[in-house]
């Protein structure tokens, strides 16, 4: 981003917004919004959802731009409304001038006539020799905290970014926890925690990208604070941190059979499935699965059919087959997983062949899986993690929840999702 690109005073739409005729707000699109987004990023307000990898901005005044505007207004102690008008643009231009000197404040266009500048008289000593143009100043590289590796309890969609810090990396353990974060472009900065309950330990510089690395630890469940990277009294970067104890969910497995069929899932792969799923969950939210019982011969003396349907969509009720499967649940664990041969939510899904997993929302947090979705060597850990998320209150339709966690093979949990899972894990006896 160059100096000219971020010159707020050059854009006519920003000029009109500076006169509140009208201000910019959610729903607006165009080059002026793109300049606004780049300006926010330049003054230390990351916009990962709006700034592309090549540095260009999408120019859409959406949820992220609205949220960043409010955070900027809070920091500048001006009216917090998420609308970009005279006060916000003035404060932004002033902040931008500290990063890119020479950025003029955004001012309304003068109402009087504009006279062209008069040419300067020639120098008495001869013609004026033109000076070499000065190179445009380059914006300073911004210090910022980042995740040490993907899916490690770091959320870069909130401002400041957020990091989960486990008090322990193992259940029933009195130590061994902590989280590692990176600080990019933080040479010479002092990094401290504003809460003594969260300790900061600097590690050797990463040879891979040259970043500084810090180990964050805490012994106190629920401790919160901020990690601050400072240059004297100026804070160049900050990171929210929150410590939590391990949460343990026990799991029972039921290997289902009927008069004519039985699940072909090997019992021997369940231990590995639990370990792999726990790795995904523990790294991001310090939730651990623990296998409790395996009911190897869970037999129903009936014909459940080639495909077990969860619901009869015409009657909008659970089918008799699924209801009978649930009736045999012992409820000896927090989660009960029933392994069957073929499962679908309804006949429409059965015709398409595309669901294979269901969650019963009753008191036992019951999950039904079939071989198509739950092979430990293929997608088992992602599938089970996805269903555990549902069992702990995550829903597809809620943007603050998990969308397709587990199905994308990325399983990147957000701060709001993790808080939801913690809240429900605490309620389990």
d(C-alpha 426, C-alpha 284), whole Å = 17
Token representation of residue 55: 């540095």
- Look at 13-17, 98-102, 216-220 and tell me which has the smallest mean pLDDT: 98-102
Residues pairing with 60 in the sheet: 29
**24: nearest Cα among 73, 77, 69:** 69
Instruction: Report the pLDDT value the prediction gives residue 89, as an integer from 0 to 100.
Output: 92
d(C-alpha 382, C-alpha 193), whole Å = 35
Q: How many CB atoms lie within 10 A of CB 216?
A: 23
Q: Where in the chain is the domain with CATH 2.60.40?
A: 144-244
Is residue 229 a contact partner of residue 238, using CB atoms and an 8 Å limit?
A: yes
Instruction: Report the pLDDT value the prediction gives residue 400, as an integer from 0 to 100.
Output: 41
Instruction: Report the pLDDT value the prediction gives residue 44, as an integer from 0 to 100.
Output: 84
Residue 104, pLDDT > 90, answer no
Radius of gyration of the chain (CA): 29
Instruction: Report the pLDDT value the prediction gives residue 113, as an integer from 0 to 100.
Output: 44
Instruction: Report the pLDDT value the prediction gives residue 397, as an integer from 0 to 100.
Output: 58
**Where is 251: in which H helix or E strand?**
strand 247-257
Contacts from 66-75 at CB under 8 Å and sequence distance 24+?
A: 66/26, 67/159, 68/40, 68/159, 69/40, 71/45, 71/159, 72/40, 72/43, 72/45
CATH class name, domain 8-99: mainly alpha
Residue 170, pLDDT > 50, answer yes
Token representation of residue 272: 């590995």
Residue 293, pLDDT > 60, answer yes
Instruction: Report the pLDDT value the prediction gives residue 98, as an integer from 0 to 100.
Output: 79
Most confident region among 15-29, 242-256, 371-385 by mean pLDDT: 242-256
CATH topology for 144-244?
Immunoglobulin-like (2.60.40)
Instruction: Report the pLDDT value the prediction gives residue 370, as an integer from 0 to 100.
Output: 77
| pLDDT band of 116, cuts 50, 70, 90 | very low
Q: How many CB atoms lie within 10 A of CB 312?
A: 14
- Whole-model pTM? 0.65
**Where is 389: in which H helix or E strand?**
helix 380-391
Mean pLDDT of 414-425: 92
Helix residue ranges, H only, 332-377: 347-352
- Is the pLDDT higher at 322 or at 290? 290
Instruction: Report the pLDDT value the prediction gives residue 429, as an integer from 0 to 100.
Output: 74
Q: Where in the chain is the domain with CATH 3.40.390.10?
A: 247-427
Contacts of 286 (CB under 8 A, 6+ apart): 153, 164, 166, 167, 177, 244, 245, 246, 247
Instruction: Report the pLDDT value the prediction gives residue 326, as an integer from 0 to 100.
Output: 76
Provide the residue count of the chain: 429
Averaged confidence pLDDT in the chain: 80
Instruction: Report the pLDDT value the prediction gives residue 47, as an integer from 0 to 100.
Output: 86
d(C-alpha 363, C-alpha 356), whole Å = 22
Mean pLDDT of 258-285: 91
223 Ramachandran zone, left/alpha/beta (phi>0; psi -120 to 50): beta
State pLDDT tens for residues 183-196. Answer: 999 999 999 999 99
Is residue 52 a contact partner of residue 24, using CB atoms and an 8 Å limit?
A: no
Instruction: Report the pLDDT value the prediction gives residue 53, as an integer from 0 to 100.
Output: 77
Token representation of residue 271: 């231990």
Name the DSSP class of 364.
T
Instruction: Report the pLDDT value the prediction gives residue 325, as an integer from 0 to 100.
Output: 76
Token representation of residue 21: 């005729």
Domain 247-427, what architecture? 3-Layer(aba) Sandwich (3.40)
Q: Where in the chain is the domain with CATH 1.10.101.10?
A: 8-99
d(C-alpha 46, C-alpha 420), whole Å = 25
**332: nearest Cα among 253, 385, 275:** 253
Mean pLDDT of 106-133: 48
Say if strands 161-166 and 198-203 run parallel, antiparallel, or are unpaired.
unpaired
Say if strands 357-360 and 366-370 run parallel, antiparallel, or are unpaired.
antiparallel
State pLDDT tens for residues 126-143. Answer: 555 555 555 544 445 789
d(C-alpha 405, C-alpha 421), whole Å = 13
Residue 309, pLDDT > 90, answer no
State pLDDT tens for residues 45-102. Answer: 888 888 887 888 999 998 889 888 888 888 888 888 889 999 999 999 888 887 765 5
Instruction: Report the pLDDT value the prediction gives residue 173, as an integer from 0 to 100.
Output: 56
Q: How many CB atoms lie within 10 A of CB 386?
A: 26
């Amino acid at each position: 981003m160059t100096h000219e690109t971020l010159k707020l005073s050059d854009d006519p739409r920003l000029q009109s917004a500076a006169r509140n005729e009208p201000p910019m707000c959610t729903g607006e699109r165009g080059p002026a919004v793109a300049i606004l987004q780049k300006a926010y990023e330049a003054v230390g307000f990351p916009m990962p959802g709006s700034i592309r990898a090549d540095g260009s901005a999408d120019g859409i005044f959406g949820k992220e731009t609205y949220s960043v505007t409010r955070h900027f207004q809070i920091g500048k102690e001006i009216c917090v409304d998420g609308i970009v008008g005279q006060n916000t643009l003035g404060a932004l231009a002033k902040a931008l001038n500290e990063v890119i000197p020479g950025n003029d404040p955004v001012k309304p266009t003068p109402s009087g006539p504009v006279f062209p500048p008069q040419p300067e008289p020639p120098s008495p000593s001869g013609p004026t020799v033109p000076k070499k143009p000065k190179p445009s100043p380059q914006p300073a590289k911004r210090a910022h905290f980042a995740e040490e590796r993907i899916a490690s309890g770091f959320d870069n969609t909130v401002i400041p970014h957020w990091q989960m810090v486990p008090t322990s990396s193992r259940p029933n353990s009195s130590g061994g926890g902590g989280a590692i974060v990176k600080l990019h472009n933080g040479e010479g900065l002092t990094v401290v925690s504003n809460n003594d309950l969260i300790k900061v330990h600097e590690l050797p510089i990463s040879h891979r990208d040259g970043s500084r690395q810090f180990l964050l630890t805490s012994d106190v469940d629920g401790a919160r604070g901020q990690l601050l990277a400072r240059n004297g009294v100026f804070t160049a970067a900050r990171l929210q941190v929150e410590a939590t104890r391990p949460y343990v969910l026990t799991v029972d497995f039921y290997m289902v059979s009927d008069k004519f069929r039985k699940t072909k899932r090997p019992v021997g792969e369940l231990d590995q499935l639990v370990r792999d799923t726990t790795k995904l969950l523990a790294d991001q939210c310090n939730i651990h699965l623990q296998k409790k019982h395996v009911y190897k011969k869970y037999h129903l003396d009936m014909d459940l059919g080639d495909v077990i349907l969860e619901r009869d969509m015409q009657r909008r009720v659970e089918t008799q087959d699924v209801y009978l499967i649930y009736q045999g649940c012992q409820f000896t664990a927090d989660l009960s997983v029933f392994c069957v041969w073929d499962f679908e939510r309804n006949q429409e899904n059965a015709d398409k062949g595309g669901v294979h997993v269901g969650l019963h929302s009753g008191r036992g947090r019951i999950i039904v899986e079939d071989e198509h979705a739950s092979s430990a060597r293929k997608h088992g850990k992602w599938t089970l993690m996805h269903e555990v998320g549902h069992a702990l209150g995550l829903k597809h339709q809620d943007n603050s929840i998990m969308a397709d966690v587990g199905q994308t093979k990325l399983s990147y949990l957000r701060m709001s999702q993790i808080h939801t899972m913690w809240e429900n894990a605490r309620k389990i006896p």
